[in-house]
Amino acid sequence: MLVTVIAALAALVVGGAVVGLIVRARMQKAMQVHDEAAIRELEGRRADAEAKRADAERAIASAQREADAIRKEAEIDAKAHLLELRRDMERELDAQRVELSRLEERLAAREETALRNETAVTERELAASDREQALRDAEAILQEAQSRADRELERVGGMTRDEARAQVLARVEESTRHDAAQLTRRIEEEARQEGDRRARSIIGTAIQRTASGYAAATTVSTVELPSDDLKGRIIGREGRNIRALETTTGVDIIIDDTPGAVVLSAFDGVRREIARITLEKLVADGRIHPARIEETYYQAKEEIEEKIREAGEQASFEANVPGIDPELLAILGRLNYRTSYGQNVLKHSLECAHLAAIMAIELGADERVARRAALLHDIGKAVTHEVEGPHAVISAQFCRKFGESEAVAHAVEAHHHDVEPETVEAVLVIAADAISAARPGARGESLEQYVKRLAALEEIAMRKKGVERCFAMQAGRDVRVMVKPSEVNDDMAALLAREIAAEIEDSLEYPGQIKVTVIRESRTSELAH
């Protein structure tokens, strides 16, 4: 029994050892498998890391190439931009050089003009000095003559010293008045010639550089009709359509025997134009009745208001006068439908702006003020009779109201001498207005006004002492005055011409200028028997 137990224990011990060996062997094998798996995993990770590093290196190389390409493109763009900037700067410098050259030329021209003026003033001063010396010499001669006359009178006797002095003084006074009249006439003639020469040069340049055309403006408009049958539709049943048209538009509609036409008559150009557009729209539409007439009238009125604004803006652009208030532009545009003696007032204002600017440049005055004032000088004519006062004063009030400078407002207000002109620009606006109005064909004049002006010119001349006859010629631009030679000598004739011209300037209104010529003729005849 014991042996059996021992044998069993020995078998158990041996079996445990065997099992232990087996377990240890399996554990070693498991550890070896685990190590090999770990090694393979490390190698896999190492391979992945190598692959990622290769990808990273490729990405870095690609990024480097892209960066190089972007840098090259940036360098090319920067060079192109720098080249364009250089070209722009060169163009700007060239423009500045051209402008500087122009300014230098203008400065040289002004310096030359100033030098000529200075030379003329110097010559006049020298001439005045010569005249003063001549007067002093004449005074010395007169004193010597007076001394001789006193001695002669004392020698002859029969007169006291005071009587002799009075007689000599009367002779000296008469001689001095004669010399003074001659000197005055010579000085005035020289000044007139110089002034006329300079004025003709400036005005001739201004007129030559300003080309304008005029179309005769009337107080009627004609609307063409497709057929005469429409005249009956315009009149309407018992005349209701034509009454509605005249009441709504405020114009007279004349339907006569003229084939294919209707005449619109009104002094207000805006109303007449609205009526013309209204009637044309009604004729084109074919529906003519009072309700349609009123609707069409308001449509035409809106169109005319838009055209007026466009006309004002276009005039401002053509005259090169920016910055005018929009409300003032609207008033300016209304002048396109106003006439003065048949002359379109807006075209007249544009021409005045160009003339005044050219003369201002020639004289070295402020071109912008002259141009602006000349364009706006007649805007007072655009308002109705409800605004009282001369149109020049009304125009100046509008200029001040809408922010124009005082220099512009003064030049506008003075262009008809409602106030005395105090600036060169104001005088230039007056001259431009007269030139534009005096152009041949620019303005019309009624026969009645024409005859009255001629009669007034002749009446002014005939009131003067010593005038025998007077003739107003060349539409009143030339007045010939015949004087009695026994009552008026040559010196008095010169003074008489000046007096008549001054009175004409003070008492009459006329476009352009009037030339006064005094003619003194002396004839002597004898009969041979």
pLDDT tens-digit readout, 315-369:
888 888 888 888 888 888 888 888 776 678 888 888 888 888 888 888 888 889 9
pLDDT tens-digit readout, 467-497:
888 888 766 778 889 888 888 888 788 888 8
What's 447-520's CATH class?
A: alpha beta
Strand (E) or helix (H) holding 265 = strand 261-265
At 180, list the tokens.
């003074």
Q: pTM of the prediction?
A: 0.48
Pairwise CA distance, residues 279 & 300, whole Å:
9
Chain mean pLDDT for the chain = 78
Q: How confident is the model at residue 168 (pLDDT cuts 50, 70, 90)?
A: low
pLDDT tens-digit readout, 302-324:
888 888 888 888 888 888 888 88
Q: How confident is the model at residue 450 (pLDDT cuts 50, 70, 90)?
A: low
Which residues are bridge partners to 515 per DSSP?
Answer: 478
User: Which among 388, 387, 352 has a CA at the least distance from the CA of 371?
Assistant: 352
Q: Residue 446 pLDDT > 60, yes or no? A: no
Strand (E) or helix (H) holding 471 = strand 467-473
Pairwise CA distance, residues 507 & 519, whole Å:
23
What is the phi/psi pair of residue 92, to 5°?
A: -65, -40
Higher pLDDT, 204 or 177: 177
Domain locations in the chain as residue ranges: 158-209, 220-313, 319-438, 447-520
Concatenating the DSSP letter of every residue in 92-123 gives HHHHHHHHHHHHHHHHHHHHHHHHHHHHHHHH
CB atoms within 10 A of CB 225: 20
State the chain's maximal CA–CA distance in angstroms: 223
How is domain 319-438 classified at the CATH fold level? Answer: Hypothetical protein af1432 (1.10.3210)
pLDDT tens-digit readout, 501-517:
888 888 877 666 788 88
At 65, list the tokens.
């190439």
What is the phi/psi pair of residue 185, to 5°?
A: -65, -40
For residues 248-276, b (16+ Cβ closer than 10 Å) or e, as one string?
A: bbebebebeeeeeebebebeebbbbbbbb
Range of weakest confidence among 250-259, 292-301, 403-412: 250-259
Pairwise CA distance, residues 359 & 348, whole Å:
16
Range of weakest confidence among 189-193, 379-383, 496-500: 189-193
User: Which among 399, 341, 407, 420 has a CA at the least distance from the CA of 369?
Assistant: 407
DSSP 423: S
Pairwise CA distance, residues 51 & 49, whole Å:
5
Residue 217: the pLDDT is 46
What's the distance, Cα to Cα, between the start and end of the chain in Å?
Answer: 223
Sign of CA dihedral 346, 348, 351, 353: negative
Q: Residue 252 pLDDT > 80, yes or no? A: yes
CATH no. of 220-313: 3.30.1370.10
For residues 360-392, b (16+ Cβ closer than 10 Å) or e, as one string?
A: bbbbebbbbbbbbbbbbbbbbbbbeeeeeeebb
Residue 406: the pLDDT is 92
